Amino acid sequence: MLDLNADVGTLTAQLVDIESVSGGERPLADAIEARLGGLDHLTVRRDGDAIVARTELGRDRRVVVAGHIDTVPVVDNVPSRRDGERLYGCGASDMKSGVAVQLKLAHSLPAPAHDVSYVFYDCEEVDAERNGLRRLARDHPAWLAGDFAVLMEPTGGAIEGGCQGTMRVEVTARGERAHSARAWMGRNAIHEAGRVLDVLRAYTPRRPEVEGLTFHEGLNAVFVSGGVAGNVIPDECAVTVNYRFAPDLTPEEAETHLRELFDGFEVRVTDAAPPARPGLDHPAAAEFVRSAGGGAARAKLGWTDVARMSQLGVPAVNYGPGDPTLAHTRDEYVDLALVVEAERRMLGWLSGAGAADA
């Protein structure tokens, strides 16, 4: 049983100790549902292993505070262990420390200044088709309705606005097969693919400013496949390219850009996820940045589920105590001081007191 009366660091350790690799979240989802379901000020709903707990106070504004409860596979890093002010364990940074903050807020704040929907969802660390927030958005969009959302992804305690989009394409070079002893009778597709690499080497990523935040794009080869046999000139070579694009572009514009860059080659989109604009000019977002971030925010350079919230018309930011550079590592840990600070700032914001008074 989770102890929501414990301090947020102890609660983080309890969460880490309940193994919840993607697809195996049920024991943790059961524990969260049991604890929140006993609180009179919350209405708790469940879909699969996703839990949504909502206040129903009739406030003028509703905010969503969301986090995923799954982790990557365990590598001898469960149960948790504490070393001074660091808590080690699978998911400590990504993102059970953020989930601990959510649970403490849900437990300790029966009458927040805004109505709050606390969302705990499954399968974020695996294929997008399995993502619990995606499923909720499809099957229960009203459960995610709000004026503003905070995704408690690891950000090291900084507020990160929006997120970049991501697209993967296969760029295929064609040649003509021949015996390698008579190479002049064919055309080597792997050699032809060198022109794709030339484009990538010469490419200067954009650093556009979007709503006051500076994003840094990236365009990189991530796979190369080609070849038939050790004595055959290959007639096909494919380079998989990943484009991380800023939220001033739509996926359609990103695809057009890539097709123009690789003109003369076959280009096939294999995966894409849209970006999210920062939306920090929304009154609820601006209030959050002033209260929890001291007036400062930076761009999110990866992709997160803020994009899903944006598609629902809910502006969202990333804010959590974990360190994103430690996510998915064997020695993953979280600084407990940052977890305490995140709880303080979130409590100040949701109570209407401001972080300094929390």
Catalytic residue among 124, 147, 255, 332: 124
> Could you give the 3-state DSSP secondary structure of residue 283?
helix
d(CA 276, CA 162): 5
CB neighbour list of residue 160: distance below 8 Å, 6 or more residues apart: 297, 298, 299, 300, 317, 318, 319
Residue where the block lists tokens 């890539």: 258
3-state secondary structure of 213: strand
Of 70, 115, 335, 343, which one is the catalytic site residue?
70
What are the phi and psi torsion angles at 82 (to 5°)?
Answer: -110, 135
DSSP conformation letters of 41-77: T-EEEEETTEEEEE--S--S-EEEEEEE--BSPPSS-
CA angle 83, 88, 89 (to 5 degrees): 150
Tokens of 83: 């070393």
Judge whether 76 counts as a catalytic residue: no
* CA distances (Å), origin 107, targets 128, 137, 172, 239, 292: 30, 25, 54, 50, 20
Q: Which structure tokens are listed for 145?
A: 């309705």
Does 323 participate in catalysis according to the annotation? no
- Report the C-alpha gap between 43 and 350 in whole angstroms: 18
* Burial (0-12, 13-18, 19+ Cβ within 10 Å), 242: middle
- The DSSP call for residue 204 is -
C-alpha span between 356 and 344 (Å, rounded): 9
The total number of residues shown for the chain amounts to: 358
- List, in sequence order, every residue forming a beta bridge with 232; answer none if it has no partner: 179
Under 8 Å between Cβ of 272 and 168? yes
Active site residues: 70, 124
